[in-house]
Amino acid sequence: MTAVSTDAIDLTSPPDRGVATRLALVAVVTTLTLELVRSSGVLLDRAFAAGALPAASTAVVTYVAAGLLATLLLVVAGSRSVTGRTSGFPSGRVVLAGTGSLGVLRLVVQSLDGAPRFGLGLTAAALAVAVLTLTVAFVAARPNGGHQAALGLTLGIGTSVGLQLALGTWDAYWRHTPLGWTVTAILVVAAVLLARLVSTETVGGRPRRLWVLGPYLALATMILANPAFASSQDGTRLPWAGGALVVMAAVGFLLLLSPNRLTAGFRAASSVLLPIAIAGSFWSHGPVVLLCLAIAQAAAAVTLATALGSRRSAPPTLSRTATVSGVIGLGTILPLLGYQLDYDVPLGFPNSWVVVVAAVTVAGAGLRLRTPAPPGGLATGPAGAPSGSGTIRPERVPVTINPLRLLVLPAVALAVTGLWVCAPTEAVPATTAGTSVRLLDWNLHYGVSPDTSVDLDLIARTIEAQHPDVVTLQEVSRGWVMGGGADMGTWLSHRLGMQMVFVPAADRQFGNVILSRSGLSDVTTTTLPYGEGPQQRSAVSATVTLHGGTPLRVTSVHLQHRAGNTATRLTEITALLAAQPSTTARVIGGDLNAEPGSVEIGALTGAGWSSALDVAGGPAGSAARTSPSGAPVTRIDWILGQQVTFTHATVLTDPRTSDHLPVVATVTAAP
């Protein structure tokens, strides 16, 4: 192979000033895009009210529309050839028009709720994918541009994780507060100013394999840029799990700044390790999960750089760029959609395979044996013929003169802030303050309210106003995209100053929680029979010690939800009751998906369990309804007990921050 020319390479000077700008631009647009993709999971929950098929159709149409929006940006702001045809190669002016449009729409969406946010919010998600696609194409279509684009995307992953940690994983998107507006304004202004700096630049190409951006975004949204996923998947506390993701994103970033390390063998190994590590993050437990996530984070950076590193430009036609933008949108939503739909329409195989296939797709795009030529060098192939590929110069740019490394500092600073924001609650007393407890039960619908928003603070204030000693929660999201990626369990525990125990009910990002102002002991999980499905339900139980030493066994449970699943619910109740102690006072709080007078409730009352609302709910107790919260027609949420006395019970009717209403009761253990 002909030696690569190094005449234009200056190893004693920092990179040209445009590189840092382009990397920061891609990073900020990536951060905005990941936030908007997470938000679309919540917005699509509104479509799920009409069924899985309408929701899936809405999701696909939304993300394929990224191709149309990219086309509009190119037509309006793109350059034209001498024949008057619009080029499919994005220029700096197109990038500025895109970031400006995205910024305006993002600010508008920040002020909305309900139906207006649904339509404009999904449009913003599609526009974000289109703008990121054009920005990455713009950066990658230059010498060594594939590495620059991958550096920016990796930097964006780290920044997104750091920002989520600093916000406690509750995105600014959902906050109508000064903090929410400030974070949004900083991101928008930064994106527009950085795009303004490159607005006069033009490029004469578009990288091939740009479609890899789609499955990469899916992996980032669900795993690589999801600190709540990391924490709930391996059991590590949120700030440490998220901090590990930030550190490994920084490691991936630094690897790409050390081109002598990116040998053909190293790049091939990264592509092979990526899907293995993603699979390991799903199928292993404990510290091994975090190790897999660390490997996946670094491997994804190297694999992406290789995939985007082609020096052969794609065809310049507008239709090709529009098509690849739509394909990227589709590649983003299909893995996320397939994974989530399994919990309503079972796929017939573990839904984690959907995400592993996305990782295999990214890995396949990155299996290239040759790397792009360095800046100023001519890539050559066999016999010295130009081929669009070459070998990166082995010399390393000295750390002391490479300011690009400083770009990781914002992500690290945000992650350090998250150590305080996401810190565990202080130690709670060993026993309750009194001989009775106030218990609140609530199905939180993974944090999504009827007006399609995520207001964790309002949920916390609703709980706080009842001064509960113990809280049993169902449908608690810890990283689910359908819940906006928030770690609700950790956030509520920290905000309320209560100890938390969490048990998965569908996967490790979705399940049941017990919160307590006093110590919880003897925590156990009861796996319930799957029956007719579609979810693998479970119950979590723990012992609360009352003042004076009397134990009270508390259980949070959610039974199968389909109307025809009566037989399954009965087997679940049998398993649940078999796991209850026979001599200790005990109480169950949960969404039983069974109405008063049903055979399921008959099975419980026949076994000696009494209902708090029926015993102590007053004249309206037996008629109390909990679902749906907007106009309740039935009672499916229950607090039941054995060897206890209920002295007060009620259904809270305001505010409505879930599709269920909470039930509150005062419980005293029988002497």
Q: Is 486:455 a contact under the CB 8 Å cutoff?
A: no
Which amino acid would we find at residue 601? Answer: I
CA 569 to chain centre: 31
Q: Is 550:431 a contact under the CB 8 Å cutoff?
A: no
Q: How many CB atoms lie within 10 A of CB 671?
A: 8
Return the SS3 of 614.
helix
**DSSP string for residues in 440-466:** EEEE-GGGB-TTS-B-HHHHHHHHHHT
In whole angstroms, give the CA distance from residue 645 to residue 612: 9
In DSSP terms, which residues pair with 502 in a beta bridge?
513
Average pLDDT rounded to a whole number, residues 178-183: 96
Please, which pLDDT band fits residue 402 given cuts at 50, 70 and 90?
low
In whole angstroms, give the CA distance from residue 319 to residue 339: 30
Residue 119's pLDDT is what?
A: 94
Residue 40's pLDDT is what?
A: 96
Q: What is the Cβ-side half-sphere exposure of residue 236, based on CA atoms within 13 angstroms?
A: 23
Please, which pLDDT band fits residue 84 given cuts at 50, 70 and 90?
low
In whole angstroms, give the CA distance from residue 145 to residue 265: 21
Residue bearing tokens 């037989």? 567
Length of the chain measured in residues: 671
Residue 17's pLDDT is what?
A: 57
Q: What percent of the chain has pLDDT over 90?
A: 72
Nearest to 442 by CA among 256, 228, 589, 599: 589
Average pLDDT rounded to a whole number, residues 23-46: 96
Please, which pLDDT band fits residue 193 given cuts at 50, 70 and 90?
very high
Nearest to 67 by CA among 381, 324, 241: 324
**DSSP string for residues in 406-419:** GGGHHHHHHHHHHH
Please, which pLDDT band fits residue 81 given cuts at 50, 70 and 90?
low
**DSSP string for residues in 272-290:** HHHHHHHHHHHH--THHHH
Q: Is the pLDDT confidence value at 619 over 90?
A: no
In the chain, what are the helix, strand and coil shares in percent, each to the nearest 5?
A: 50, 15, 35
For the chain, the distance separating the N- and C-terminal CA atoms, rounded to the nearest angstrom, is 88
Please, which pLDDT band fits residue 395 given cuts at 50, 70 and 90?
very low
pLDDT tens profile 350-374: 999 999 999 999 999 998 655 444 4
Average pLDDT rounded to a whole number, residues 653-663: 92
Nearest to 444 by CA among 637, 243, 296: 637
Lowest mean pLDDT among 24-38, 77-91, 349-363, 466-480: 77-91
In whole angstroms, give the CA distance from residue 504 to residue 160: 25
In DSSP terms, which residues pair with 438 in a beta bridge?
666
| Residue 507, both tokens | 């996967």
Q: How many CB atoms lie within 10 A of CB 426?
A: 8
For Cα atoms 286, 287, 293, give the angle at the middle one, nearest 5 degrees.
105
In DSSP terms, which residues pair with 641 in a beta bridge?
587, 610
What is the b/e burial string over 543-578, where b = at least 16 CB atoms within 10 angstroms of the residue's CB?
Answer: bbbbeeebbbbbbbbbbbbeeebbebbbbbbebbbe
Q: Is 32:158 a contact under the CB 8 Å cutoff?
A: no
Q: Is 98:132 a contact under the CB 8 Å cutoff?
A: no
In whole angstroms, give the CA distance from residue 664 to residue 671: 22
pLDDT tens profile 228-261: 999 999 888 999 999 999 999 999 998 888 767 7
Q: Is 600:570 a contact under the CB 8 Å cutoff?
A: yes
Please, which pLDDT band fits residue 391 given cuts at 50, 70 and 90?
very low
More confident residue, 670 or 15: 670
591 Cβ partners below 8 Å, 6+ apart? 443, 474, 475, 557, 558, 559, 561, 636, 637, 660
Q: Is 455:569 a contact under the CB 8 Å cutoff?
A: no
Residue 67's pLDDT is what?
A: 96
Lowest mean pLDDT among 320-334, 380-394, 497-511: 380-394
Residue ranges and CATH numbers for the domains of the chain are 17-371+392-421 (1.20.1250), 436-669 (3.60.10.10)
| Cα-trace Rg, the chain | 27
Phi and psi angles of residue 185, each rounded to the nearest 5 degrees, phi first: -65, -40
What is the b/e burial string over 307-336, where b = at least 16 CB atoms within 10 angstroms of the residue's CB?
Answer: bbbbbeebebebeebbbbbbbbbbbbbbbb
Burial label for 287, CB within 10 Å (0-12, 13-18, 19+), is exposed
Q: Is the pLDDT confidence value at 7 over 50?
A: no
Which amino acid would we find at residue 537? Answer: R
pLDDT, averaged across the chain: 88
Distances in Å between the Cα of 465 and the Cα atoms of 458, 459, 468, 654, 655 are 10, 10, 8, 11, 11
Which amino acid would we find at residue 558? Answer: H
pLDDT tens profile 287-327: 999 999 999 999 999 999 999 986 567 777 888 889 999 99
pLDDT tens profile 448-476: 999 899 999 999 999 999 999 999 999 99
In whole angstroms, give the CA distance from residue 576 to residue 564: 20
Average pLDDT rounded to a whole number, residues 19-36: 96
Residue 113's pLDDT is what?
A: 86
Q: Is the pLDDT confidence value at 9 over 60?
A: no
More confident residue, 418 or 317: 418
Residue 461's pLDDT is what?
A: 97
What is the DSSP secondary structure assignment for residue 366, as one 8-state letter?
T
Q: What percent of the chain has pLDDT over 70?
A: 90
In whole angstroms, give the CA distance from residue 130 to residue 321: 10
Return the SS3 of 322.
helix
Return the SS3 of 634.
strand
